[in-house]
Amino acid sequence: MYKATFIITKMDCPSEETLIRMKLASFDTIQQLHFDIAQRRLEVFFTGDIAPIEKAIDELGLGSTLAETLDILSSEVPQESQERKLLWTVLGINFGFFVIESITGIIFKSMGLIADSLDMLADAVVYGLALIAVGKAATTKRAVAKVAGVLQIMLAVLGFMEVVRRFFGVETIPDFRWMIGVSFFALLANAYCLYLLQKSKSQEAHMKASMIFTSNDIIINCGVMLAGIAVIYSGSAIPDLIIGGIVFLLVLQGAIRILRL
């Protein structure tokens, strides 16, 4: 058993992690992958030759460099069962708030809530691709990634078009109370997810990536809440449209990264 450590300079979010997982899915020699997005670091536990794996990672164009390769014992490969359960919990919370925010966003005419719900869905998709596809055939993993990426792009484009339509059309003032209230509970949910992830004290890369992703969600939740407050004082829907447009663009960027593979 060997452990290869790669430094990947352009790996700065879970979308790149998903790309790499999809790219390496067909390698039967790979036993496990460990990502540390904060440090731009990937550890590959494998048997056989590292050259085909190194070539596959390099083809993604993410600025990869093979730092070292070590001969290790099989017992030194980390176990992930508890971490997987924790990530399933985080996935469930994200998907739950996707449903809640999308419904309330449509009913109370808030593009900020709708965009934030799509960001929650994007999070759930990234976690799902990393967890559900484990053990599946490479073609299945790529199909799941493609469907998820296309769906996110369609929703993000439609959402952004609606933002533009509302900006130049008849102004519809969203219900700021629901904007602030639902975003506040979404913030609490993300804070709880972050608490669970930090409580695990895991040093594994994909867990650290999840912490970064969840921290970004909290920032977006705060943005929607601030937009709701701005709606109160301005009497205009513009703050809601601005935050909605920003989040839709972020989701679109993540979906395009998934489809790059």
Averaged pLDDT of the chain = 80
Average pLDDT of the residues in 50-59: 93
Domain holding 24, by residue range, is 2-76
Q: Are residues 139 and 42 in the same domain?
A: no
The band of 64, judged by pLDDT with boundaries at 50, 70 and 90, is very high
Q: Last residue of some domain: 15, 48, 76? A: 76
AA identity, residue 214: T
Q: Are residues 179 and 101 in the same domain?
A: yes
Which residue is it, tokens 């290869």? 4
Q: Are residues 248 and 125 in the same domain?
A: yes
Q: Are residues 45 and 8 in the same domain?
A: yes
Confidence check: pLDDT of 117 > 80: yes
Look up the pTM and report it: 0.58
When divided into structural domains, the chain yields a total of 2
Show the tokens assigned to 198: 């930090």
Q: Are residues 93 and 55 in the same domain?
A: no
Q: Judge contact between 8 and 53, C-beta under 8 A.
A: no
Q: Are residues 35 and 137 in the same domain?
A: no
Q: Are residues 215 and 102 in the same domain?
A: yes
Q: How much of the chain exceeds pLDDT 90, in percent?
A: 17
Q: How much of the chain exceeds pLDDT 70, in percent?
A: 79
User: When comparing pLDDT for 258 and 104, which is higher?
Assistant: 104
The CATH number of residue 40's host domain is 3.30.70.100
pLDDT at 1: 84
The band of 54, judged by pLDDT with boundaries at 50, 70 and 90, is very high
User: Of 66-80, 90-104, 201-215, 233-247, which gets the smallest average pLDDT?
Assistant: 201-215
Q: Are residues 167 and 249 in the same domain?
A: yes
Average pLDDT of the residues in 31-48: 86
Q: Are residues 135 and 162 in the same domain?
A: yes
The band of 258, judged by pLDDT with boundaries at 50, 70 and 90, is low
Average pLDDT of the residues in 219-244: 86
Q: Last residue of some domain: 54, 76, 98? A: 76
Average pLDDT of the residues in 154-183: 82
pLDDT at 86: 76
Q: Are residues 151 and 26 in the same domain?
A: no
Average pLDDT of the residues in 151-173: 78
Q: Are residues 72 and 137 in the same domain?
A: no
Q: Are residues 141 and 248 in the same domain?
A: yes
Q: Last residue of some domain: 46, 76, 106? A: 76
